[in-house]
Structure 1
Amino acid sequence: MERVEPIRSEKKIKDLKKYPLGAGNMRNYALIVLGLNTALRISDILQLTWEDVYDFEEKTFKTHVYIKEQRTGKDKKFLLNKNTIEGLLKHKRKLGHINHQDYIFSSRNGENKAITRHMAIRIIKESCAAVGIKEHVGCHSLRKTFGYHSWKKGVPVPVLMELFNHSTQAITKLYLGISQDDIDDVYRLVEL
């Protein structure tokens, strides 16, 4: 798997979210917003069904989602924040009727099949290119972007390690995509 970078510019992230909205593609918008706000791997995102995120009895989105990670087999609980719920709601409204077992990111080819990882990569790369994101990006860029911006806002590495379900802090530090600009910012901040 090739190494991808987080999206460091908050303006570019906003542009990235606006791009599918402008095209009226709520599925792709929800995919990008969910990826940016949950730090899930694409394999876990693509397996989500509406039942995972939506309470059909209460007719409302759940506050927390429980999954078993595909790659690690570990249980994971995560919060659906305001932006994620908004993205899912836009997608749900565009679809109209949804069933419990329908994949959230369903393919247009075939009955109740999730889009493929290849399609997700294409969506993300094309969207990033369209808004001028120059970093080497892929599906994991959304996960890394969450980590990078969490770290920049002061979330400690051990908390991010737990959030990512990493076994070591060294792995988490690699995820953060710390650049020379970030190191230079420390020198600017600490003038003794």
Structure 2
Amino acid sequence: MQTVQPIKDREKIEAIKKILRASTLRNELLFVLGINTGLRISDILALKISDVLTKKGVVDRLDLREKKTKKKRIIALNKKTCRLIQRYLETERSVARQDEPLFLSQKGTRRPISRQHAYDILNEAARSVGITERIGTHSLRKTFGYFAYKQGIDLAMIQKLLNHSSQTETLRYIGITQEQMDEVVLRLEL
């Protein structure tokens, strides 16, 4: 499996959202949910409408068991993500049943889109905004970690959120290079 990179440019992230929104809200939500939660694509694609919508409305937390680790997790959803879920459900999934996949395939089946299709959606959007680095579905998770780090979130917290065994693994995972670490030291000059 090839290593993919996080998307490190906010302008390109916004451009990708715009491109995906023009195709379907489903595709935009797939991207937004991934970069705002750090969930693996297998967990995102496994979501059902009942995971995000109750009789009271759109949930503000996802309660799930990770496919890879089998660990139970509760993941908060920010307001922007909740609003997008609401809009998506109202416009593209208004007649959906609670037990249906959130990211329903458009091929007439009652199944979620495939990992490959999710990869194709994300890659096409990334290429169209000029991203040349290797991008894949895991780029969403890495982008979450990268921007959490850039916002000053403690590395130990990011490590815990991504369920990594070491901070070194987390730094490598989110694309922090030796050159970037050297630059911090060289600029310090106390």
Q: TM-score range by the shorter chain?
A: over 0.9
Counterpart of 1:65 in 2: which secondary structure? strand
Counterpart of 1:37 in 2: which secondary structure? helix
Residue 108 of structure 1 is matched in structure 2 by: 106
Please point out which of 159, 169, 174 is paired with 1:176: 174
Q: What TM-score does the superposition give when structure 2 sets the normalisation length?
A: 0.93
Residue 9 of structure 1 is matched in structure 2 by: 9
Please point out which of 75, 80, 85 is paired with 1:88: 85
List 4+ stretches of structure 1 deviating above 4 A: none
| Distance in 1 separating the partners of 2:169 and 2:145 | 12
Shift of the 14–185 alpha-carbon distance from structure 1 to 2, 3 Å rule, reads farther
Q: What TM-score does the superposition give when structure 1 sets the normalisation length?
A: 0.92
Residue 75 of structure 2 is matched in structure 1 by: 78
| Distance in 2 separating the partners of 1:97 and 1:88 | 15
| Distance in 1 separating the partners of 2:17 and 2:183 | 27
Q: Does 1:38 align with 2:37?
A: yes
Deviation at residue 181 of structure 1 after TM alignment: 6.1
Residue 126 of structure 2 is matched in structure 1 by: 128
Deviation at residue 35 of structure 1 after TM alignment: 0.7
Amino acid at match of 2:97: N
| Distance in 2 separating the partners of 1:187 and 1:135 | 26
Residue 146 of structure 1 is matched in structure 2 by: 144
Counterpart of 2:153 in 1: which secondary structure? coil
State the superposition RMSD in angstroms.
Answer: 1.6
Please point out which of 63, 66, 72 is paired with 2:63: 66
Provide the aligned length of Structure 1 versus Structure 2.
Answer: 189
| Distance in 2 separating the partners of 1:93 and 1:182 | 44
Where structure 1 has 5 or more consecutive residues not aligned to the other structure, the ranges are: none
| Distance in 2 separating the partners of 1:68 and 1:21 | 29
Amino acid at match of 1:171: E
Where structure 2 has 5 or more consecutive residues not aligned to the other structure, the ranges are: none
Identity of aligned residues (%): 38
